[in-house]
Amino acid sequence: MKLPRDGVLPPEFFDRPAQHVARDLLGHVLRSDVDGRTVSARIVETEAYTGPQDPACHAAARIGRTRRNEAMFGPPGTAYVYRIYGLHWCFNVVTGASGDPAAVLIRAAEPLAGIDTVRDRRGMAAAGGWAVPALTAGPGRLAAALGITGALDGHNLRRTPLVLVEGSPAPEDSVRTGPRIGVSRAADWPLRYWIDGNPFVSRPRGGLRR
């Protein structure tokens, strides 16, 4: 695919099945300028929620179109942000054509810039200066680190303050797949993608890898 010179991922990148976008997003970069503070991070873990036929998808057929999942029906490259467990925000990228409700959950990323802001937002001491997995490994942590809230639900991800830009795609043989985390339906569908061995990949219940 031809990418524009400014490096912003084009709508065509997202106008594909969610599982392809989930795999291909690994290695690309999410940049946030929320509150005027720049943070960028390389995506290392994703999950695909493929549409009405996917029982774990927020737009599964039994649910249909509701106020919460409205953004999933928008054009490819739209943000879908929702609150979970009453506490945390989760950030997704809408895939496929308008009216086709599928998305990719961004579960973890490796900070590249703005570490001080990340540490500040995550309530960690300013000392140190380097990134650790507990800052951005896991969807709730990642959203908090980048300042992503429900205010960005429906946001166009080619525009500031939240943009997906070209990074260095993960080599094909470094990508691993497995069941999605924390879902009760379609629990065995292998729609989770991550970069093998990357320390910023989340490890729910069992500590962090490495």
Partner DNA sequence: GGTCGGATCATCT
Partner DNA sequence: GATGATCCGACCG
Residues that bind DNA (CB under 7 A): 47, 49, 56-58, 62-63, 66-69, 80, 82-88, 90, 92, 103, 105, 107, 122, 134, 138-142, 180-184, 202, 204-207
Of residues 36 and 207, the one with the C-beta less far from DNA: 207
Of residues 34 and 166, the one with the C-beta less far from DNA: 34
Torsion angle of alpha carbons 142, 146, 149, 153, nearest 10°? -90
Q: How far is the CB of 69 from DNA (least distance, A)?
A: 6
- Spell out the residues 6+ positions from residue 32 whose beta carbon is closer than 8 angstroms to its own: 38, 39, 40, 114, 146, 147, 148, 161, 162
Of residues 7 and 181, the one with the C-beta less far from DNA: 181
Q: How far is the CB of 171 from DNA (least distance, A)?
A: 25
Inter-residue contact 40 to 114 (CB < 8 Å): yes
Of residues 28 and 141, the one with the C-beta less far from DNA: 141
Q: How far is the CB of 208 from DNA (least distance, A)?
A: 9
Environment class of 85 (CB within 10 Å of its CB; exposed 0-12, middle 13-18, buried 19+): exposed
C-alpha span between 201 and 137 (Å, rounded): 6
Q: How far is the CB of 154 from DNA (least distance, A)?
A: 12
